[in-house]
Amino acid sequence: MLINDCGLYCLTYSCFYSRALEVSAEENAARMKRKRCEGSGESCSPADWIRQEDCPVGIRNVGNTCWFSAVIQSLFHLPVFRRLVLNYCLSERVLEKCTSHSEKRNIAFMQELRCLFALMVGSNRRFVDPSAAVELLRDAFRTSEAQQDVSEFTHKLLDWLEDAFQLAANGNNPEDKQNNPMVQLFYGTFVAERLHEGKIMSNIEQFGQYPLQVNGFDDLDECLEGAMVEGEIESLHSDQTMSSGQERWFSKLPPVLTFELSRFEFNQSLGRPEKIHKKLEFPQVIYMDRYLHKNVDQTHGRRGEVKRLKDQLTVLQQKLEGYKNYGSGPTKYPLADMLQYVLEFATTKPTDVSPASVPSNPPLHTEPSSGDSSQTEPDDAGSSDGSDCLQTATQKTPIHKPFTQCRPPMEMPLQPAPHSVTEEELYFVRSCLQRWRAEVENTVNELKASIDKVSQALEGMYSDNSLCQVPYRLHAVLVHEGQASAGHYWAYIYDHANKRWLKYNDVMVTESTWEELVRDSYGGMTNASAYCLMYINDETGQALKGMDSLPSILRRYVREDNRWFQQELREWEEQFCQAQCEEVHIEKPIPEEPQNPEQEPKPEPVQEQTNEVSEGPSTDSTPAFHEEYSRLYELSQEETTPQQDPRLQHVLVYLFQNQAPNRVIERTLLEQFADRNLSFDDRAVSIMREARSKIRLIKPEDMDMDEYLVKPIMTVKTFIITTVFNMHIVS
């Protein structure tokens, strides 16, 4: 964790935070190393650990927290929100006033989020570990093992961020709260109006994530109509109406408009929550004009027109249904088809044969009957009509085959027809039926055309320019797959710079399409569906890429983490090569005679020792080496005035800034820890002994001793002279 006790902020904020970032980078690298390949989609190949160019960073799922990845990714890719988090800073005066546990916790969470965002901007890793931030957030619920309600966590996250920025605003009055950047970004207001005793009563309320019901609606606009108007609402598609006296109208829309789709309901009979898998469509661009308070009169007029058109549409559909399903019995048929069938019956030629009589079939052409049919000769096979059966008749043992035996084709059954009809009657019936059928077909076509016309009028009711002035573009879709009790979360986020959709599924970030998004998000087809839609009112442009968008202290933090990452890769490669060498030695057959000693090298120990030296303190297990090396390196990178030259503070800083060889720097650091004067407690003695053992492992062939002894002596001499000279000037 980055910060264990937020009270330490009140001492020396900048110094402590700088050191804390260094430790956090080390701990983050250790976490990533420990958990490597634990999650799905994580590869054990170093090539798959490295972030690809122009590819966003994924977030590891640390124990039932895939919701965290989906929510954080959608917020991180909001340019305004990203800048707010990365540039968050509190003055020491404000920090001294932070005494409550909640204030300290919120500050700690904000700093962890800053570090996480910094890594997501500039890390060389394909995915990062959010454990520190997740643990702070999850501790508030004390149920780390259970799959949590993502809505509850999202509300809590935004509340903490709002409180953290409220500290930066340094005020608790309503005006200061309105200046809170979280409030300005995610919160809006609506006017609730209701008719009471002939008077309109209204009040203004604030909203953040706006909840919408899914049941009973087909698309997002219908959901909004149902949520905004608790009165007689006329939806474009639904036939249901609700009666109440209250209406809601948005008076101020936030830049980020979030709709929370209610896809879970409690089943009273089963005694448990269930997920609603109903299909719900939503557009890539939604126009909010019709829901604004300033457009009340215009929207009321449109709603009245919608009601009139819907009534007209209902009548037209009922008429069409009467023609398409005609009849008074349980089975109904299209009227035009029925008239056609009657016409076909009337025009069928009558016959003298009674419909009830059974047509007689001619006798089958089979072999003549005799006492010994097996001796029947081909000449006795029958008449010429049965010539096709000669082969069957020549068999010694004839077999009766009722379905394959040769016979003349049967007469087709007769079509129903009138017993008798005169030419005059036929002419009269035919003309009437043809005329009626033509009339029915014309009426059906007219009804269909009228229905299409009314439907188009309904669809375009809110599509004219006057009600298309406030567009909101879809920024992110948060998806849940599974049932109410458990499932998996991921997010689709639009990449405005490259005009594409990206799918963020924990550590996996892949390019996607709108078709795939629809398939996973609309619902109704699988157990995956959207539970949250995030729209933005304007494309503010993609946030700055790379390290340029980070404050200097976070740039150093990311560089340090990337350095640890490069070390991880080197360690993995060394371990892999060593394992390969061991496998070769195991598989290699043992010769009968001993080999020449020159042909029996033992690369493993030498390689180990070489690695120990080449990596220096970065490969050691003692945190003291890591921390001291990192501290002095960062100190050497600072830009200061000549009077405050950091090279005067430590010889290693002097070596860093004068670009001394790495082996020299690393051995110098080990020599520092091996000094007997530092053995003032057990821990120091342990560090001293380990440093000395490291030095003993360094062989003469591992480094140029002249380079180590001669050049550093001259460098240290210059360092001492410069230090004494500057001290003399200062005094």
Using one digit for the tens of pLDDT, what is the confidence trace for 188-235?
999 998 877 778 888 999 999 999 999 889 999 999 998 888 755 455
Catalytic residue among 6, 66, 389, 532: 66
SS3 326: strand
State what percent of residues in the chain have pLDDT above 70: 65
Q: Which of 255, 296, 258, 262 is nearest to 276 (CA)?
A: 262
Report the run of H or E that residue 445 belongs to, with start and end: helix 423-459
> What band does 12 get if pLDDT is binned at 50, 70 and 90?
very low
pLDDT score, position 378: 43
488 given a catalytic annotation: yes
> What band does 487 get if pLDDT is binned at 50, 70 and 90?
confident
Q: At a CB cut-off of 8 Å and minimum separation 6, what does 194 contact?
A: 200, 201, 202, 245, 246, 247
Q: Which of 501, 79, 465, 522 is nearest to 287 (CA)?
A: 465
Q: Is the pLDDT of residue 17 over 60?
A: no
When comparing pLDDT for 462 and 63, which is higher? Answer: 462
SS3 588: coil
**Rounded to whole angstroms, how far apart are CA atoms 434 and 441?**
11
**Rounded to whole angstroms, how far apart are CA atoms 46 and 81?**
32
Mean pLDDT of 75-82: 92
Report whether 254 contacts 209 (CB < 8 A): no
Q: At a CB cut-off of 8 Å and minimum separation 6, what does 39 contact?
A: 60, 61, 506, 507
Q: Which of 475, 483, 477 is nearest to 528 (CA)?
A: 483
Q: Is the pLDDT of residue 275 over 60?
A: yes
Q: Is the pLDDT of residue 347 over 80?
A: yes
Question: Could you read off the pLDDT of 688-717 as tens digits, one per residue?
Answer: 777 777 777 775 556 555 555 545 555 555
pLDDT score, position 337: 92
Catalytic residue among 10, 155, 468, 488: 488
Of 352-366, 500-514, 526-540, give the range with the top mean pLDDT. Answer: 500-514
pLDDT score, position 350: 75
Q: At a CB cut-off of 8 Å and minimum separation 6, what does 236 contact?
A: 221, 222, 306, 458, 459, 461
Weakest mean pLDDT among 27-36, 195-204, 554-563, 660-669: 27-36
pLDDT score, position 63: 74
Weakest mean pLDDT among 195-209, 340-354, 357-371: 357-371
Of 33-42, 324-333, 600-609, give the range with the top mean pLDDT. Answer: 324-333
Using the structure block, give the residue that is written with the tokens 């009467």: 322
432 given a catalytic annotation: no
What sign results for the dihedral spanned by CA atoms 212, 217, 219, 221? Answer: negative
Q: Is the pLDDT of residue 508 over 50?
A: yes
Question: Could you read off the pLDDT of 637-665 as tens digits, one per residue?
Answer: 776 666 566 556 677 777 777 777 877 78
> What band does 370 get if pLDDT is binned at 50, 70 and 90?
very low
**Rounded to whole angstroms, how far apart are CA atoms 711 and 486?**
65
Which of left, alpha, beta for 327 (phi over 0: left; psi -120 to 50: alpha)? left
Q: Is the pLDDT of residue 609 over 70?
A: no
Q: At a CB cut-off of 8 Å and minimum separation 6, what does 158 contact?
A: 182, 186, 208, 209
Question: Could you read off the pLDDT of 203-216 as tens digits, one per residue?
Answer: 999 999 999 999 88
Q: Is the pLDDT of residue 384 over 60?
A: no
> What band does 577 get if pLDDT is binned at 50, 70 and 90?
confident
Weakest mean pLDDT among 184-198, 321-335, 668-682: 668-682
Number of helices (H), then strands (E), in the chain: 22, 16
Q: Is the pLDDT of residue 611 over 50?
A: no
Buried-exposed string 576-610: b where 16+ CB fall within 10 A, e elsewhere: eeeeeeeeeeeeeeeeeeeeeeeeeeeeeeeeebb
If you write DSSP's letter for every residue of 249-316 in order, what string do you get?
EEEE--SEEEEEEE-EEEETTTTEEEE-----B--SEEE-GGGBGGGHHHHHHHHHHHHHHHHHHHHH
Report whether 405 contacts 315 (CB < 8 A): no
**Rounded to whole angstroms, how far apart are CA atoms 476 and 496?**
11
> pTM to 2 decimals?
0.63
When comparing pLDDT for 673 and 120, which is higher? Answer: 120
Q: Is the pLDDT of residue 614 over 50?
A: no
Weakest mean pLDDT among 425-429, 537-541, 606-610: 606-610
Report whether 564 contacts 29 (CB < 8 A): yes
For residue 100, the Cα-to-chain-centroid distance in whole angstroms is: 36
SS3 125: strand
Question: Could you read off the pLDDT of 581-594 as tens digits, one per residue?
Answer: 766 656 555 555 55
